Chains A and B, each alone.
Chain A
Amino acid sequence: MGIKDKVAIIGMGCTNFGELWDKGSEDLMVEAFGEALNDAGIEKNDIEAAWLGTCFDEVNVGKSALPLSMTLHLPYIPVTRVENFCATGSEALRGACYAVASGACDIALAMGVEKLKDTGYGGLPDFGGVMGSRNRMIFPNLTAPGGFAMLATRYFAKYGITPEEGKRAMAMVSVKSHANGVKNPKAHLRREVTVDQVLAAPMIAWPLGLFDCCGVSDGAAAAIVCSPEIAKQFREDAVYIKSLQIGTSSGEELCYNNWDGAHFETVTRAAKRAYKEAGVENPRKEIGAMELHDCFSITELATYEDLGISPRGKAKEDIEAGFFNLDGEIPCQPDGGLKCFGHPIGASGLRMMYEIYKQLQGKCGERQIADPRLGITHNLGGFPPMNIASLFITGLGKG
C-alpha cells in the first residue's frame, strides 16, 4: 500500500518570504501560482482540482476555499481549504497528491499562503480563540515558543545535559541554518550569526532565546502535481512522491504518563511508515537532503532523532560534527529553513517542498547539495504533547 511513484510534482512556485507590509494574501497567491504554472508549462485550465492551505483565518483571508478560487479565477473546479495548524501547507499538498493518486484527476494544484503580519504584535496570533471553547478555559495562555520550550526543558533533564550544553547545541542548529539562508534570495532573515550571538540573545521562553525561534513572515508557495504519465509529457526532471505519511497525536502524550517529553511520538511513528513506503532501509545513508520543521532549534534537534538519523540523545554529537551542514552528510535546511524564511503557516510545508524539488533538480546555485539522493520534508503542527507531523520523501524519477 502507499502512493510511491503514483504522483509527480511538475511545477512549483514560492514567493520571497518576509514582512511584506505592501502585499496581501492575494498578491502572494498570484505570484506563487504564476511561478508554478510557468515552471510546469501548463495552462490554468489544465488544473482539475485545487487545495488551499491557510491556518489563521482571523488575520488572513478568512475561511473556505473561496479566497483561492476567486483570486485565481479558477473555472468552477473543486477547490478545498484545509487546515492542520502549522502542518497546513503539507495538508494542501496531501489533498492534491491523493486526488491524483486515486485517479480522481490528472492535474491538481496545492497552494499554501499565510499573511501573518497583520496582527499588530510580534509572534503568532494569540491562541486564545483557536483552541476551542472548552480548551481555552483550561489550557495555559501558551505561545508557540513556550510550548516547544518545554520539549527542551525535558530533553535536557532526560539526557542529563546542563542548560548551557543544551543551549550551545541548539545554537549550532540555528547558526547552520543562518549560514544557508544567507545564500537564498527568497529568505526573510539573511545574515550569518555566531554561536555567541545566539547565546546572548534575549530570552523568549526559557530555555529558548530569540535565535532559537523562527521568524514570523508572510509568504506563499504552490505545487502542481500530476500522474506519472502526464509528468513525462511535461518534463524529464519531475520529482516523484516516494512516501507521504502523517502522524497525529493520540492524546497519550498529554494525558498518559508514558511519553518521555523529549521526542515527538508522531514523527517517530510516521517516519517508520514513510521509510517503509519509500523502501528506505538506512535513512542515515540513503537520505541526501532534509527540510525539517525548525520552528524552534530544539524541534529540529529532536527531529534528527525521531527520523532515525541520529541515535536517541546523540543529536548533539552529529550537530557538533557538522553532519547537517550544507557540506555535511545530510544537509539540513539548505534554504535556511523556517529559521530564515519565517513561518507563514499555510505556506511553510510547500516552501520546504519547493527547496527539495529545486535541490533534486540541481537548481540551487551556491547552496546546491552535491548529491541530494532522496529528500525529506517534515512539517509539524501543534506542539510537542499534541501535534500533527507530516513527512514527504521525494526523489527524481521512478523506482
Chain B
Amino acid sequence: MVGITSYGAYIPRYRIRRKDIYSAIGWLNPASLLPGEKAVASYDEDSITMAVAACMDCLTGIGRNEIDGLYFASTTMPYKERLNSEIIATALNLRPDIKAADFSGSTKAGTTALISALDAVKAGSAKNVLVCASDCRLGKPGGYIEEMYGDAAAVILVSSEDSIADLLDSHSVSYDFVDHWRADGDRFNRGWEDRWIRDEGYARFIGEAISGLIKKSGLSPNEVARVAYSCLYERAYTIIGKKTGFEAAQLLDPLFDQIGYVGTSYPLVLLVAMLEGAGADEKLIVASYGNGSDAILLQTTERVGELKGKRKGVKENLESKRRLKSYEKYIAFKNIIPVDTGGRGEEVAGTAISTLWRERKSILGLTGSKCKRCSTPQYPPQLICVNPDCQAVGEMEDYAFSDKQGKVFSFTEDNLAFSVSPPAIYGIVDFDGGGRFLFDVTDCDSGELKVDMPVEMSFRRKYLDEGRGFSGYFWKATPIMTTKEG
C-alpha cells in the first residue's frame, strides 16, 4: 500500500523569545505579547537550504538514486523563475531523470504536494517521491504576525511499499478566502480581521476537511489516535478540535510556543512529530490551512518504530537550539533594516552561471572525487590525484562529502571579512575518511570553535547578490551540537 517510508525535519537553531521581540518593539502594538519563542532561519538560510537539511535527515541510510521525484512546497521560494525544487535535488545529488516540481501560492501547498505525491505513487508513475515543505515568512516589525511566524522545514518520503504509515484517504476543500495575501513584489503579508479569520477561516475549513475525511472513511473521531493541524491562534486550536469531535488528549501539541506558525511546512512538521510518537496500527489525521484545507488520514504500520533514533526529526531539532537574544540582530539577519556593511560588504562579484552549471555537482552537491587507484577522497574533485605518491591521471570517481562529518583542522574568527553576522568564522576541515578543504563555519558563536571539534556540513546561502537577483549556495561546516541550548 502507498504510504510514508521516511521522514525528516529541520528547525533552524536560532530561537527568539517573543518577549524579546516585544521588549524591543512592543511599544508599537502593546497588545501583541504572546508566550514562548519561535524558530528563526539564520542570515544564510532560506526555504531552500532548510529543505535540503530536512531532506538530508530524511534520506539518512537511503540511496539517493532511489528517488524518482521531489516536490517542494513553500510560499517563500527564493526564485520565481528557476526551479527551486531542482536546486534542492541538485544539492542532494539526485538523478536528473526525476519529477521535480514547485508547489506554492498557499500555506496549504505542503499537504497538496503530499497528496499529489501519494496520487503519483498510487498511479504507478513514481516509486519514491520526496515531499518537502519549507517556509520562512516575515511579519512586519511591531505587528503580532512577527511574533507568530516561525521558520522550519519537514520532509516526507512517499513510496509504494514498506511504509511506516499507509495513506488511507484525504479530503480537500478550497476557497478564495482572503485572510492573508501577498502580492507580487510584497515582502510582508497583509491581513483581514483576526476574529473573522479564526471563526470563518480556521474553524470552518479545517472542520470541513477533517469532518469530510472522517465521513468519507466511515470512521468516528474516537477511532483516531492523534490529530494535528495548522492553527494561527493558540486558543482556537483546542476549540476547533472539540468542535470537530476530538478530545483534548487526541490533539498533538502544535509546537506554536516553540517554533511558531511555520507556513507550508507546519502540517508536515506536525505529521513528523506525530509519527515520532506513534505506535503501530494507529490512525492519524493531519490537516493544513490556507485558502481552504487538506486533511489526510494515515494508519501506522508495525514498521513505524524503525526510524526512531535514526532521524533528527522534530524532537532532536527542537532540542538543538541557541537563543537569538537581540531583536536588532534578528531584523538585520532578515534584511529588514539596512545595515552598514562597509565598502567590503558592497563588493559582490557576479556569478558565472555557466561555471555553476559545469561545476554543479561539486558546488551545489559538494561532490568531490575519490582516486580509484589509491582511494584518496579529494575536494574539489581533482583530475590528477593529489596524493604525491599516486598522481594517477583520469582515474577518479564521484565521492560525496555532504554527508561526511569532519574535524576542525584550523580556524579563525575574522573581524575584517564581511559577514552579516561577524566575526566571519572559517576554517580547514579534515573529513572523516579523508579529504580536506576550507569552509565557512555557521551556527557557531565567537569563542565556541576549537581545533579538532567535530563538524558536519550544511547547505547554506553563501551570498546574496541583490543587484543581480542571485542567491549563491554552497556548503558550510557547522559544529555538531552536543549541548542542548547554546
Contacting B at CB under 8 A, from A107-152, are 119-123, 126, 128-129, 133-134, 136-143, 145-147, 149-151
Within 8 Å CB of B426, what residues of A?
140, 142, 146
Which one of A128, A142, A207, A255 lies within 8 Å of B348 (CB-CB)?
A: A128
- For residue B375, CB closer than 8 A to chain A, the reply is no
Query: Which of B362, B413, B474 gathers the greatest number of chain A CB atoms within 10 Å?
Result: B413
Q: How far is the CB of A91 from chain B (nearest CB, A)?
A: 25
- For residue B440, CB closer than 8 A to chain A, the reply is yes
Separation of A321 and B438 alpha carbons in the complex (Å): 36
Separation of A147 and B427 alpha carbons in the complex (Å): 9
Within 8 Å CB of A194, what residues of B?
none
- For residue A154, CB closer than 8 A to chain B, the reply is yes
Q: How far is the CB of A163 from chain B (nearest CB, A)?
A: 11
Across the interface, do B382 and A206 meet the contact criterion of CB distance under 8 Å?
A: no
Q: Given contacts A121-B342, A205-B415, is CB(A137)–CB(B440) below 8 Å?
A: no
Q: Given contacts A137-B363, A256-B387, is CB(A146)–CB(B342) below 8 Å?
A: no
Separation of A145 and B363 alpha carbons in the complex (Å): 26
Q: Given contacts A134-B355, A385-B428, is CB(A128)–CB(B347) below 8 Å?
A: yes
Segment of A93-101, A246-254, A364-372 in the binding face: A246-254
Closest to B354 in A: A133
Closest to A262 in B: B410
Across the interface, do B412 and A146 meet the contact criterion of CB distance under 8 Å?
A: yes
Across the interface, do A140 and B440 meet the contact criterion of CB distance under 8 Å?
A: yes
Across the interface, do A129 and B382 meet the contact criterion of CB distance under 8 Å?
A: no
- For residue A257, CB closer than 8 A to chain B, the reply is yes
Q: How far is the CB of A384 from chain B (nearest CB, A)?
A: 9
Within 8 Å CB of A151, what residues of B?
410
Closest to B417 in A: A143
Within 8 Å CB of B348, what residues of A?
128
Across the interface, do B474 and A154 meet the contact criterion of CB distance under 8 Å?
A: no
Contacting A at CB under 8 A, from B417-474, are 417-419, 423-424, 426-428, 430, 434-440, 451-452, 462-463, 472, 474
Classify chain A's interface size.
35 or more
Separation of A255 and B362 alpha carbons in the complex (Å): 14
Across the interface, do B352 and A133 meet the contact criterion of CB distance under 8 Å?
A: yes
Across the interface, do A255 and B419 meet the contact criterion of CB distance under 8 Å?
A: no
Across the interface, do A254 and B451 meet the contact criterion of CB distance under 8 Å?
A: no
Separation of A203 and B413 alpha carbons in the complex (Å): 9
Separation of A137 and B418 alpha carbons in the complex (Å): 15
- For residue A70, CB closer than 8 A to chain B, the reply is no
Q: Given contacts A153-B412, A257-B434, is CB(A140)–CB(B359) below 8 Å?
A: no
Closest to A154 in B: B410
Q: Given contacts A251-B386, A257-B435, is CB(A121)–CB(B344) below 8 Å?
A: yes
Separation of A398 and B356 alpha carbons in the complex (Å): 55
Across the interface, do A120 and B343 meet the contact criterion of CB distance under 8 Å?
A: yes
Across the interface, do B343 and A143 meet the contact criterion of CB distance under 8 Å?
A: no
Across the interface, do B451 and A138 meet the contact criterion of CB distance under 8 Å?
A: no
Across the interface, do A204 and B416 meet the contact criterion of CB distance under 8 Å?
A: yes
Closest to A384 in B: B410
Across the interface, do A141 and B411 meet the contact criterion of CB distance under 8 Å?
A: no
Within 8 Å CB of B451, what residues of A?
153-154, 157
- For residue B349, CB closer than 8 A to chain A, the reply is yes
Q: How far is the CB of A122 from chain B (nearest CB, A)?
A: 8
Across the interface, do B413 and A157 meet the contact criterion of CB distance under 8 Å?
A: no
- For residue B379, CB closer than 8 A to chain A, the reply is yes
Contacting A at CB under 8 A, from B378-404, are 378-380, 382, 386-388
Within 8 Å CB of B342, what residues of A?
121
Q: Could you mark each residue 150-166 of chain A with 1 if its beta carbon is under 8 Å from any beta carbon of chain B, else 0?
A: 11011001000000000
Separation of A154 and B452 alpha carbons in the complex (Å): 10
Across the interface, do A140 and B438 meet the contact criterion of CB distance under 8 Å?
A: yes
Query: Which of B419, B426, B463 gathers the greatest number of chain A CB atoms within 10 Å?
Result: B426
Across the interface, do B437 and A254 meet the contact criterion of CB distance under 8 Å?
A: yes
Across the interface, do A385 and B438 meet the contact criterion of CB distance under 8 Å?
A: yes
- For residue B233, CB closer than 8 A to chain A, the reply is no
Which one of A126, A146, A202, A385 lies within 8 Å of B344 (CB-CB)?
A: A126
Which one of B363, B415, B427, B474 lies within 8 Å of A203 (CB-CB)?
A: B415
Which one of B412, B414, B462 lies within 8 Å of A137 (CB-CB)?
A: B462
- For residue A261, CB closer than 8 A to chain B, the reply is yes
Within 8 Å CB of A128, what residues of B?
347-349
Q: How far is the CB of B350 from chain A (nearest CB, A)?
A: 9
Contacting B at CB under 8 A, from A2-61, are none
Query: Which of B379, B424, B430 gathers the greatest number of chain A CB atoms within 10 Å?
Result: B424
Separation of A79 and B430 alpha carbons in the complex (Å): 44
Across the interface, do B414 and A146 meet the contact criterion of CB distance under 8 Å?
A: yes
Across the interface, do B424 and A140 meet the contact criterion of CB distance under 8 Å?
A: yes
Within 8 Å CB of A136, what residues of B?
349
Q: How far is the CB of B65 from chain A (nearest CB, A)?
A: 25
Across the interface, do B343 and A121 meet the contact criterion of CB distance under 8 Å?
A: yes
Closest to B356 in A: A137
Across the interface, do B423 and A206 meet the contact criterion of CB distance under 8 Å?
A: yes
Q: How far is the CB of B317 from chain A (nearest CB, A)?
A: 26
Q: How far is the CB of B168 from chain A (nearest CB, A)?
A: 46
- For residue B376, CB closer than 8 A to chain A, the reply is yes
Q: Could you mark each residue 200-215 of chain A with 1 if its beta carbon is under 8 Å from any beta carbon of chain B, else 0?
A: 0011111110000000
Separation of A63 and B263 alpha carbons in the complex (Å): 52
Q: How far is the CB of A112 from chain B (nearest CB, A)?
A: 24
Which one of B351, B388, B412, B418 lies within 8 Å of A206 (CB-CB)?
A: B412
- For residue B409, CB closer than 8 A to chain A, the reply is yes
Across the interface, do B435 and A255 meet the contact criterion of CB distance under 8 Å?
A: yes
Within 8 Å CB of A146, what residues of B?
412, 414, 416-417, 424, 426
Contacting A at CB under 8 A, from B271-308, are none
Q: How far is the CB of A125 from chain B (nearest CB, A)?
A: 8
Q: How far is the CB of B435 from chain A (nearest CB, A)?
A: 7
Q: Could you mark each residue 256-291 of chain A with 1 if its beta carbon is under 8 Å from any beta carbon of chain B, else 0?
A: 110001000000000000000000000000000000
Contacting B at CB under 8 A, from A195-235, are 202-208
Q: How far is the CB of A173 from chain B (nearest CB, A)?
A: 18
Q: Could you mark each residue 317-353 of chain A with 1 if its beta carbon is under 8 Å from any beta carbon of chain B, else 0?
A: 0000000000000000000000000000000000000
Q: How far is the CB of B442 from chain A (nearest CB, A)?
A: 10
Contacting A at CB under 8 A, from B336-371, are 342-344, 347-349, 351-352, 355-356, 359, 362-363
Across the interface, do B414 and A256 meet the contact criterion of CB distance under 8 Å?
A: no
Q: How far is the CB of A383 from chain B (nearest CB, A)?
A: 9
Within 8 Å CB of A122, what residues of B?
416
Given contacts A120-B343, A256-B388, 4 further A-B contacts (CB under 8 A): A121-B344, A150-B428, A153-B427, A154-B451
Residues of A bordering B, CB below 8 Å: 119-123, 126, 128-129, 133-134, 136-143, 145-147, 149-151, 153-154, 157, 202-208, 250-252, 254-257, 261, 385
A-B CB contact pairs (8 Å), 23 listed: A120-B343, A123-B416, A126-B347, A134-B355, A134-B359, A137-B474, A138-B437, A141-B463, A143-B417, A145-B414, A145-B416, A149-B412, A203-B413, A203-B415, A205-B423, A206-B423, A251-B386, A255-B382, A255-B386, A256-B386, A256-B388, A257-B430, A257-B434
Q: Which 7 A-B pairs have the closest CB atoms?
A: A146-B414, A133-B352, A149-B412, A140-B426, A121-B343, A154-B410, A205-B414
